[in-house]
Structure 1
Amino acid sequence: MKLLGLQPPGTPRPSTGQAPAPENQDAPPRRLSTLGVVIASVAVAFGAGAGSPLFVLYQREWGFPDWQLTTAFTVYAVTLLATLLVAGSVSDHIGRRPVLVGALVLLLLTSALFLLADGIGWIIAARAVQGMATGAATSTFTAAIIELASPRHRPMMTVLTSAAPVGGLALGALFAGVAVQFTSHPTAVVFTGLAVVLVYGVVSVLAAPETAVRRPGVLASLRPRLTVMPAARAWFWSLAPLVAAGWMFSGLFLGLAPSFDSSVFNIHSGAANGAVVALQPLSAAAAGMAFGRVEAERATRVGAALVLSGAVLAVSGVAAANLPLVITGALAGGAGQGAAFGSSLRILGPLADNARRGGLFAAVYLIAYTAYGVPVLAAGIASDAVGLSATVVAYGVLVAALAAVAGVSLTLRARKGSRITAATAGK
């Protein structure tokens, strides 16, 4: 496996890898198709977030053990990671539209599997396909939306793409929780509605112009690797623990909250369960948009501090069976994730051209979804041995440690930058 996947010496690259821009990037048809692409990117995460409240319902109806519940959550992350690792750079070679259309069609298949499901095996299969589709779509949507935007709107669209995944997770959890509580067929309500939006997404992607020039090397790009070019490498490794801390904290709520809602806080209402699950990603989406106006390097440091404090508050609340403390932690840590992830993309995005931006974002999302899924699977296994509360505390300690490491690294980097600036100004 090639890490830091630099292209082999001699591999041909176009100077920009950028498709010719349409004459008017702000024309109404262009704006409408871009809006449809953004909505489709939110729908991808919506389907993933909808699973959390529904899994509790399935467990109650079908009677499967907790480890199968966490397996259904984690198989999504595992297949997503595998797809990102293998196919994260494919859109840099064949274009954004083919990858996005293929991913959206796979998500339509996922909806069909959920609608047909009558046992946990169907759900695990559906989540595996969902992970594959999301892995293909996530970094490609991020690159495509940024490239579709006009230069003056590009910073705003970068912030929007960082908020879309967590915003979609929150909307999916909220909508599914309400459907569980107030409808007799929540799976049909959730996934039939999602299928309609996905079809709209396919139409929007096909209507949007292609932003990446086709270039050779697609088969070589399927070799597992992380594409982090030299210009972005230093920042990438400084931001990696921060991205991991934020998404691991998100996994705490999307993956484990349905279990501790029931066992620690005796929450059995579908709507209430969905609300608790959604608090963290909802806060992340809102903060990601709000911090878009804050200087990116400063926002990463603020994000690290918020994730650290949120992790301490949330796990303290679970250990003490104090729901208001958990809610406060969810809001604080969620805000930290939103500030950190959005600003990380703002820092890294300009460091790559269109020819390699999809691969760079694939590397970012590989770290994000590894932190989002793998610890939850380990926590689900550990909770059978040591108990859920102790597992959540250990989980939170690891999140806090990652946030602290990131905070120290970014602070040192900022001080070094200030010294260099001062020395340059003094000459």
Structure 2
Amino acid sequence: MSAVVWIAVGSLAAWGWLLLGQGFFWRTDQRLPEHEEYRENSKGREGDDGRCWPSVALVVPARDEAAVLPESLPSLLAQVYPGKAEIFLIDDGSQDGTGSLARDLSARHGGLPLTVSSPGEPEPGWTGKLWALRHGIALARARDPEYLLLTDADIAHEPDSLRELVASARSQDLDLVSQMARLRVTSGWEKLVVPAFVYFFAQLYPFRRINRPGARTSAAAGGCVLLRTETAVRARVPESIRQAVIDDVSLARAVRRGGGRIWLGLAERVDSVRPYPRLADLWRMVSRSAYAQLRHNPLLLLGTVAGMVVVYLAPPVALLVGAFGGNGAAGWLGFAAWAVMTGTYVPILRYYRLSLWLAPLLPFTALLYLLMTVDSAVQHYRGRGAAWKGRTYSRPRTAPASGPPPAPDGPAGPPPA
């Protein structure tokens, strides 16, 4: 057999394993767990079974978020929650009036009480977001809440989002409940690139495996994390992960190492309002941290490139070789692998309510992610690291004085095959 046929065989075998052996990552049925015993009682703080709803502190790190805050913050202020809840927005050195805008929005919309505070510049060894979370969690703990909702400033919540998160956590005795917000898919580039972001993340961290009690796989989505305060203290969050450029998976691992139970799924009441209208915007979003996903390891980068080529690019190439080069075996093998790939992409397109005609374009989208990942490595070796809103984070070289550095990981780029 020719080399093209052998590569096509390897690609089809890889897709057979991904289809059946990678935790059914392509399915989109992991939604908030069922909860019968906690329901809203509009007359008071108690659920239908007489239990008291726990107090919650909502911590929102925000750096230069004035453009999206008018869409996201009012949704937090308007949360309909039977228990006590308040918001702590941490203005992380914003230059665009984020803090004053947050106060104006609170005065205009009312709702949950809002505290706006600033932590100052991060100390050495801290990333900006985790430094802001540290400050916000410290303020929140003074109120002694039972839960912390860590949510990004570009995330909008339906009015019952908090209640549903808490109800699921309580009914299933979960220490961490995280939802991957539904990202914006308005522009053409967003429709092409964004669903694949979630698809690749789920391929790396299959939700079903994460949600299995006692599983070794751990992950969270940093935009929406409900965390039991007692668990955060036990896991030393965020101190134990303070160097993590991609913090959500590190957070989930810290919770699981501390004996906590975690859950991750797709959101139905939580949406990202941050726009990525151009390819350049999406490119920066992925490339700023993709190489950190590979632990800044050149060998992992080479393996990822090779794996992406065989798994995603070889099927259409083999099909073309078969169609125009007279190699029928290569053509049929390439077609079969491409068909399986396309079928696994359909559920995420349905979740985003997008045209299923985008599914056969996954090889092209994967090529874009591959180039973004290579660019991420190039930027790293040029000393630009993970750049975000005026800050650049290079690979941690030494451990902080009080603990070991976490492995940098998270939903940053395409998965190694």
Structure with the higher fraction of residues in strand conformation: 2
Pick the TM interval, shorter chain.
under 0.3
TM-score by length of 1: 0.24
Structure with the higher fraction of residues in helix conformation: 1
TM-score by length of 2: 0.24
Report 1 or 2 for greater relative contact order, CA contacts < 8 Å, sequence distance ≥ 6.
1
